[in-house]
């Protein structure tokens, strides 16, 4: 999952970025409001973490222009503005959820998981295609009828990208987007390496290759 973090406070931003990286998210962090629109034109994100008080452009304005462009990327507001009118403005303005500073990282992570599940059309905490299931809280994968298997952070990130929408074919570039953030060097064979590792750990047919296009997990049944 690729996350855009918009937060001007360096200390808070560093804590969030480092925690998200530890949780296998690919994170891009920007510290002013004015570069959000151009960033979103160049890169697709699974979720935006948006502070409200920002230099350049206020978070509420950023949210409004995002939704006016019919950009449906989920937005989780992270802010110290705790008045009811601010909260209602954010949620009515198209935010998916709201976390008040100061917050525990565990709460932020849980709210992110909930938003990402809903985005994938799945209400249960575990992602599944009926055969394979993945628990984002523990990063363990289970083939039906077998014990759970622990995944590395990158194995998890790749499998999660595929399992959010079973049956959808993701290209190499899209999978790399889910694994690497800005400034991280993309290793050329990483996608092949991870898929090989996942097939060995789980089952050979767990990820299917569509020649010349990319990879998918089956829609299951
Ligand atoms: Ca701020």
* DSSP β-bridge partners for residue 100: 79
Tokens representing residue 170 in the block: 């993701």
Report d(CA 139, CA 160) in Å as an integer: 9
The yes-or-no verdict on residue 26 having pLDDT over 90 is: yes
pLDDT of residue 123: 74
Residue 190 has pLDDT above 80, yes or no: yes
Q: Quote the CA–CA distance of 85 and 168 in Å, as a whole number.
A: 40
Q: How far does residue 13's CA lie from ligand 1's centre (Å)?
A: 10
pLDDT surpasses 80 at 220: no
Q: What integer pLDDT is reported at residue 221 of this predicted model? A: 58
Q: What's this model's pTM, rounded to 2 decimal places?
A: 0.86
Q: Could you tell me the distance, in angstroms and rounded to a whole number, from the CA of residue 53 to the centre of ligand 1?
A: 4
Residue 140's nearest CA partner among 125, 128, 156 is 156
Q: Give me ligand 1 centre to Cα 56, in Å.
A: 11
42 alpha carbon – ligand 1 mean position (Å): 24
What is the CA(80)–ligand 1 centre distance, in A? 8
For residue range 111-133, what is the model confidence (pLDDT) as tens digits? 999 998 888 777 778 899 999 99
User: Over pLDDT 70: what percentage of the chain?
Assistant: 100
- Cα of 7 vs centre of ligand 1, distance in Å, is 6
Confidence (pLDDT) at 121 = 75
> pLDDT digit string (tens) for 136-169?
989 999 999 999 999 999 999 999 999 988 999 9
Give the pLDDT mean for 85-101: 93
Distance, CA 63 to ligand 1 centroid (Å)? 15
Q: How far is the CA of 88 from the centre of ligand 1 (A)?
A: 19
Domains of the chain: 2-119 (3.40.50.2300), 127-216 (1.10.10.10)
Q: What is the mean pLDDT of residues 82-86?
A: 90
Share of the chain above pLDDT 90, in %: 86
Q: What is the mean pLDDT of the chain?
A: 93
Q: What is the average pLDDT across 176-205?
A: 93
* CA 6 and chain centroid, separation: 14
pLDDT at 21 over 80: yes
pLDDT given at position 165: 87
Q: Residues whose CB is under 5 A from ligand 1 (ion)?
A: 8, 51, 53
* Cβ proximity of 99 and 75 under 8 Å: no
Helix spans in 93-221 (H): 105-119, 153-163, 172-179, 190-201
Per-residue pLDDT for 52 more than 80?
Answer: yes
Between the CA of 122 and the centroid of ligand 1 the distance, in Å, is 32
């Amino acid at each position: 999952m690729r996350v855009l973090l918009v937060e001007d406070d360096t200390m808070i931003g560093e804590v969030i970025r480092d925690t998200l990286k530890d949780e296998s998210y690919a994170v891009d962090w920007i510290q002013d409001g004015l570069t959000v629109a151009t960033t979103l034109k160049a890169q697709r994100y699974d979720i935006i973490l948006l502070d409200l008080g920002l230099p350049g452009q206020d978070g509420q304005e950023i949210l409004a222009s995002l939704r006016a462009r019919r950009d449906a990327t989920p937005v989780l507001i992270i802010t110290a503005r705790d008045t009811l009118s601010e909260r209602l403005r954010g949620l009515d303005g198209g935010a998916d959820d709201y976390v008040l500073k100061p917050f525990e990282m565990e709460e932020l992570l849980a709210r992110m998981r909930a938003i990402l599940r809903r985005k994938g059309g799945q209400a249960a905490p575990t992602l599944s295609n009926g055969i394979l299931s993945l628990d984002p809280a523990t990063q363990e994968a289970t083939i039906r009828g077998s014990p759970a298997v622990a995944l590395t952070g990158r194995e998890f990130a790749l499998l999660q990208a595929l399992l959010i929408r079973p049956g959808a074919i993701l290209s190499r570039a899209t999978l790399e987007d889910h694994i690497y953030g800005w400034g991280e060097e993309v290793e050329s064979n990483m996608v092949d390496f991870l898929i090989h590792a996942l097939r060995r750990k789980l089952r050979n047919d767990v990820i299917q290759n569509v020649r010349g296009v990319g990879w998918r997990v089956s829609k299951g049944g």
